[in-house]
Amino acid sequence: MGLEETAALATGAEAPDGAVERADFRAAMSRLAAAVSVITSDGPAGRVGFTASAVCSVTDDPPTVLVCMNASSAQNRALIENGVLCVNTLRGDQEALSVRFAGQTGLTGAKRFDAHPHGVAATGAPVLADALVALDCRIERVVRVGTHDVIFGRVEAIVPGPAEGESLVYFGRAYHRLPSAAR
């Protein structure tokens, strides 16, 4: 199939300025499966945590990840001022934890940490118990893109979780469990 044929298959509506409509973009992104993580931080601006699916590796030299966070979030300023974050990748059975940190239970700020065991990483960021893996990071750079801040974190330590287990992923606007690969 050529480029013209592929372009002819596009069905999304365009905004007057030629940009893709927001609703169409969100629908397209719902078809992109993503690991679910809880991003945590603690420091002078207080303990905060939020659920994120927009997390990915940037480079392995130096080990760096990026996390996207809505710039208007009440926790955005605190996270950036703390200068540290921990990416806690959730297990398949931790959907309730994801919902808690997504703010869907009405809990805010440090209260989201109540009732779930957690430790402290080398940077001071909270590490959630039983996460598949936790990446302890120092924030290196923040770039504002539209409604979100893209936060680049240099990984300073890795806290491995259970050797086996399902991963919690978000796909099609719903949670799913992805089994671990057979070794």
Q: Could you tell me if residue 142 is inside a domain?
A: yes
The two tokens of residue 129 are 């118990």
Residue-level pLDDT at 98: 94
Contact 86, 121 (CB under 8 A): yes
Q: Total structural domains in the chain? A: 1
Q: Could you tell me if residue 113 is inside a domain?
A: yes
pLDDT at 8 over 90: no
Q: Could you tell me if residue 172 is inside a domain?
A: no
Residue-level pLDDT at 24: 85
Burial of 108 (0-12, 13-18, 19+ CB in 10 A): exposed
Nearest alpha carbon to residue 171 among 26, 36, 33, 29: 33
**CATH (domain of 96):** 2.30.110.10
Q: Could you tell me if residue 22 is inside a domain?
A: no
| Per-residue pLDDT tens digits for 36-75 | 999 999 999 999 999 999 999 999 999 999 999 999 998 9
Give the pTM.
0.85
Q: What are the contacts of 61-64 at 24+ separation with CB within 8 A?
A: 62/154, 62/155, 63/154, 63/155, 64/140, 64/152, 64/153, 64/154, 64/155
Cα-based distances in Å from 89 to 18, 19, 154, 169:
37, 33, 16, 10
Tell me which of 27 and 158 has the higher pLDDT. 158
The two tokens of residue 145 are 């893109």
Q: Could you tell me if residue 175 is inside a domain?
A: no
Residue-level pLDDT at 15: 52
Average pLDDT score over residue span 93-101: 94
Alpha-carbon gap, residue 102 to 147, rounded angstroms: 17
DSSP β-bridge partners for residue 31: none
Q: Could you tell me if residue 12 is inside a domain?
A: no
| Per-residue pLDDT tens digits for 153-177 | 999 999 998 777 899 999 888 999 9
Residue-level pLDDT at 169: 94
Q: Could you tell me if residue 63 is inside a domain?
A: yes
Q: Could you tell me if residue 52 is inside a domain?
A: yes
Q: Which domain range does residue 106 map to? A: 34-160
| Per-residue pLDDT tens digits for 119-157 | 999 999 999 988 999 999 999 999 999 999 999 999 999
pLDDT at 3 over 50: no
| Per-residue pLDDT tens digits for 64-87 | 999 999 999 989 999 999 999 999
